[in-house]
Every structure is written in structure tokens, then in C-alpha cells.
Structure 1
Amino acid sequence: MSEPLVLVADAGPVRTLTLNRPAALNSFTGALHAELRAALDDAAATASVRALILTGAGRGFCAGQDLNDPGMAAGADGKVDIGAVIEANYKPLALKVRAMPVPVIAAVNGVAAGAGANLALGCDIVIAARSASFIQAFSKIGLVPDCGGTWLLPRLLGRARALGLALTGDKLPADEAWRMGLIWQCVEDSALADASMALAQRLAAMPVKALAATRQAFDAAALMGMDDALALEARVQRELGHQTDFAEGVAAFQQKRAPQFKDR
């Protein structure tokens, strides 16, 4: 029986999903996409999961699309319909990550290239090992950034840096990505697993419904004027103010005790 393409491990309220094609630097195939989407759906549906870590097995996080996958085969006209691959796999994956009901941490343990880089950057928080790197490899094969890259990069870096990375396809070392503000943290390789788990456990103990709502509000406000963003804040605060986590947080503050958050 073949080994799963996505390894699933729980540590209390934290679930880790590990892309498991190490011999191919965890590059994407249709089968890997299917297992990852199913794993994300299961994590979203499991009430005990309050934070998620996404990482890769072996020496890489994800090298993007496996160009040898049958899904990349040419059709009768001799051409590859990459748009169909995007619609079937990368679009739903990017949207699913952004819609998770819990915080999602990318623990980037090596190369993150092409769609692999943008999958990581689409997570809520990115922690990278010092030896890791990010490569917008699309221009090297005559394509544009996908898996949300055209939306993410200008918002994270501004137009000049986003275009520079996308047009050149240059490797961006993790420590430089941190200095540019592209990722949250760069740590020593030996510290990546512990740092990611410590942050995930910390977030899992927080009001995760509000954390997920914060991500959603940020994404929505990026497309709004200030008046609409203020109205959005009022709507979200009204909803969260009716949740038990808000009452618990206020009570814990007043009683000078640690809160016990449970909403999800």
C-alpha cells in the first residue's frame, strides 16, 4: 500500500499537514491536490482542531507543479490546457486555505517555488528555515504567477518588488524575505519545527473564530474604500460581540485570570 501524499499529525489542538512527495520536492500532482484538499476539509470539519501547520517532507516545502504529472499532458491539439489545471486544482486550493476557520501557519523547510511559494504566502503566517527560499519560477517557463500570486505579491510587497520577483524569477533567501516583510519570521533550520508548533499552540489557545475573522476582514477591506471597511468592521464586531469568546475574554480580564476560549 502506497504511503499517503499528505501526512496528518495532531498535537493537542494543533494539526500538522505534511506534503509527502520528498523525492520530487513535494511538487504538485492531481493526486496530491486531491489529498491536500480532503485533508483541509477534514481539519475544517474537526472541532478539536484550532490551528493548522502546513509543511513539507524532506528537504523542500513545495517545488510547485510537477510538469510530468498526467494532468499536464498535451491535448489532441498538442497544447497543454494550464487554465484547466488552475481551475481544477490551484484556485480551489488557494480559496480553501483563505477560508479555513482556524489560523494556518506555513512552516517552510526548504525551497518553495512557483505555486509552492504562493501556497505558503497565502497562509496566515509564514515561518521559514534560514536555508529556505522563495522562487517565483513562472517567468522561466513563460507563465505568470498562479495559486493567488498575482493577488498576494503586490499586496505583500508593493508593485515594484512584486514585479521584480515575478519578472526575474530570482531566488529569494528566507532571511531576505523576512527583511522585506514577505514572511513573519526566519529561524534556524533546527528551530523551525519547535517555533512553528509553539506559535500554533499559542494561536490555538486564542479566540480562533476572531482570528479567522481578522484574516477575512483584512482580505475584504483590501478591496474597499475606508467607509466600506469601517462598515465591515461594525458588522464583524457585532457578530463577534455576540459570541461566547467575547464574554469570556471580558470576564477573564475583569477577574484577572487566563481566558478559556472555545468558539470556532
Structure 2
Amino acid sequence: MNHKTLSIETSNKICTMKFTRPEKLNAFNTQMVVETQEALNKIAADDNIKVLIITGEGKGFSAGADLSDSTGMDDHSNDRLVYEGLVNGYKPSLLQIMNMSKPVIGAINGAAAGIGSAFALACDLVVMSENAYIKQAFVNIALIPDGGLNWLLTRTVGYRIAYQMAIEGNNVRADRCLELGLANKVVPHDQLMNASLEWAESLSKKSSQSLRETKRVMRMAMTHDYESVFEQEAEANNALHGSKDSLEAIQAFFEKREPNFD
């Protein structure tokens, strides 16, 4: 499938999805919303892909929604236009990132603002360029954070810091994101993709079933109680124990070699 707002490259079981509207700092117009949703659905369903990297072309990861895109905005008969755009346009993509079975690494190359920051923080792992920042820009246009950011931020940094970020609308630089737990790593700008690809390559050698179930149960743990999560852990390991991957890992351990899960 040809995309006008994205590029997709796959090599050695690692897929890199890049937003390609650099002239707009990769802000989302209607076409980019649609293409992102289609691409993520296809990537999630591809068993040959073990790790996904999401990044942006140029100086920005994504500046959020393209406020100059007026597609459909002149439909004054629909007083649910914004709601439908968020729920039908962005929500499926963000849920796909969080729910797909493979790890998703956000390689944040520059500004991640507004809904763009939601895509960054929905990723399982985040590597930031030292030049990058996250910005809750909504207050500057008299709105509130959306894209699930009220959920993502409060669960990551707690209510007070999340609220401060939302009402101030300031740039949160990469080093501060690392301190707050919004990023896993901060690297020199020219090393961002190499660092992200090296991490992805390391993960691609892990057991797919272990990556899948760890992500599933940890995502579930964010909204469930201890006892429920304990039960899910037990069910998962009961199902995985004795599997082909598990037996290979045990054999490799005794043979003092790296396991081969291909």
C-alpha cells in the first residue's frame, strides 16, 4: 500500500513506521489519521514483524493535529465532529499501539506535542533525542489533553505533575522526561535511530510469546488489582510452560548458548 503521509520499512523482523509530513512537523491531517490506522492494523497482523519503531521525519516527531486541515470542519450540522474524529480517527491507532502483541518503540526525534505526544507515550518503550521534547499544547488553544493523555500521564507521572504539564503547556525536555519516567533512554540526536534499531534488534531475538504475554499482562496490570494480575501471570506461564520456545530456552541455558526462537 502506498502512503503519502507515512513511510514503512521492514528489515530483519523490525518495522519502522515514519511520519512523513516534515513541512508540517508531522502534524496529523485527515489523510495521515487514516493512513496511520491502516498501517498499524497491517503491522499488528503481520507475524513476520517482531518489533515496531515509530518515528518522524525532519525536526518533529509530531506536532499534533494539523489545525490548518479543514477537511470536514465546515460541516456545521454535526455537533459531534470533534468527538467522532478522536474516537473514530485516533483512538483505534492508539489502542492498536498499546494492544498489539509486539513491542513498540517510540523514537522521538523532535517535538511531540498535543495528540503527537499521545502517540509517543502510547508506545511501550521510548527513546528520545536530546533535542526532543513533549508538550501538552492543548491549554494554548483552550482545550484539554485528549488522545487518552489524561490516563497515560497520570499513570506515569502522577496527578500533580500531569496536571502541571497540562495547564502550563510548556516544553518538557528529554532529560526531564527521563527523570519523570516518560522516556527510557535519551541519546545524542544523530544516534537516535541507531540506538532504537539496536534495541529493536535485541528484542527481536527474544521469544515472541514471552514478549506478547508480558506486554498483555503488564498493560492489564495498569487497570486491574493485584489478585487479578497474579491469576493472569499464573495462567500465562501455565500456557507457555513446555512450549517450543520454553524448551528451546531451557536447552540453550544448559548448552551455554543463546536460544534460537526462529
TM-score, normalised to structure 1's length? 0.93
Aligned residue in 1 for 2:40: 40
Residue 149 of structure 2 aligns to which amino acid in structure 1? Answer: G
Aligned residue in 2 for 1:51: 51
State how far apart, in whole Å, the 1-side matches of 2:134 and 2:48 are: 32
Aligned residue in 2 for 1:163: 163
Aligned residue in 2 for 1:174: 174
For the structure 1 residues 154 and 123, does the alpha-carbon distance in structure 2 shift closer, same or farther, using more than 3 Å as the test? Answer: same
For the structure 1 residues 33 and 246, does the alpha-carbon distance in structure 2 shift closer, same or farther, using more than 3 Å as the test? Answer: same
1:242 Cα deviation after fit: 4.8
Number of matched pairs: 261
> Residue 207 of structure 2 contacts residue 261 of structure 2 at CA under 8 Å; is this kept in 1?
yes
Query: Deviating runs (4+, > 6 A) in structure 1?
Result: none
For the structure 1 residues 3 and 51, does the alpha-carbon distance in structure 2 shift closer, same or farther, using more than 3 Å as the test? Answer: closer
Is 2:99 aligned against 1:85?
Answer: no
> Residue 128 of structure 1 contacts residue 186 of structure 1 at CA under 8 Å; is this kept in 2?
yes
**Secondary structure of 2:128 counterpart:** strand
Is 2:252 aligned against 1:252?
Answer: yes
Aligned residue in 2 for 1:130: 130
Is 2:258 aligned against 1:240?
Answer: no
1:80 Cα deviation after fit: 7.1
Q: Which runs of structure 2 are paired with 1:181-220 in the superposition (5 Å)?
A: 181-220=181-220
Cα RMSD after superposing both structures: 1.7
Report Cα offsets for 1:115-138 as digits up to 9, x if no partner.
Answer: 101111110100010000100111
> Residue 13 of structure 2 contacts residue 49 of structure 2 at CA under 8 Å; is this kept in 1?
yes
For the structure 1 residues 80 and 169, does the alpha-carbon distance in structure 2 shift closer, same or farther, using more than 3 Å as the test? Answer: farther
**Secondary structure of 1:195 counterpart:** helix
Report Cα offsets for 1:58-83 as digits up to 9, x if no partner.
Answer: 11000111112234614325967211
> Residue 73 of structure 1 contacts residue 80 of structure 1 at CA under 8 Å; is this kept in 2?
no
1:231 Cα deviation after fit: 0.9
Aligned residue in 1 for 2:11: 11
The unaligned stretches of length 5 or more in structure 2 are: none
TM-score, normalised to structure 2's length? 0.94
Fraction of identical pairs, as percent: 32
Aligned residue in 2 for 1:139: 139
For the structure 1 residues 242 and 28, does the alpha-carbon distance in structure 2 shift closer, same or farther, using more than 3 Å as the test? Answer: farther
For the structure 1 residues 199 and 117, does the alpha-carbon distance in structure 2 shift closer, same or farther, using more than 3 Å as the test? Answer: same
The unaligned stretches of length 5 or more in structure 1 are: none
> Residue 105 of structure 1 contacts residue 123 of structure 1 at CA under 8 Å; is this kept in 2?
yes
Aligned residue in 2 for 1:152: 152
State how far apart, in whole Å, the 2-side matches of 1:77 and 1:5 are: 29
Is 2:223 aligned against 1:226?
Answer: no
**Secondary structure of 2:140 counterpart:** helix
Report Cα offsets for 1:103-122 as digits up to 9, x if no partner.
Answer: 11000000000110111111
Aligned residue in 2 for 1:261: 261
State how far apart, in whole Å, the 1-side matches of 2:14 and 2:161 are: 34
> Residue 128 of structure 1 contacts residue 192 of structure 1 at CA under 8 Å; is this kept in 2?
yes
State how far apart, in whole Å, the 2-side matches of 1:220 and 1:127 are: 23
> Residue 71 of structure 1 contacts residue 85 of structure 1 at CA under 8 Å; is this kept in 2?
no
For the structure 1 residues 148 and 241, does the alpha-carbon distance in structure 2 shift closer, same or farther, using more than 3 Å as the test? Answer: farther
> Residue 101 of structure 2 contacts residue 216 of structure 2 at CA under 8 Å; is this kept in 1?
no
For the structure 1 residues 258 and 3, does the alpha-carbon distance in structure 2 shift closer, same or farther, using more than 3 Å as the test? Answer: closer
**Secondary structure of 1:70 counterpart:** coil
State how far apart, in whole Å, the 1-side matches of 2:87 and 2:225 are: 29
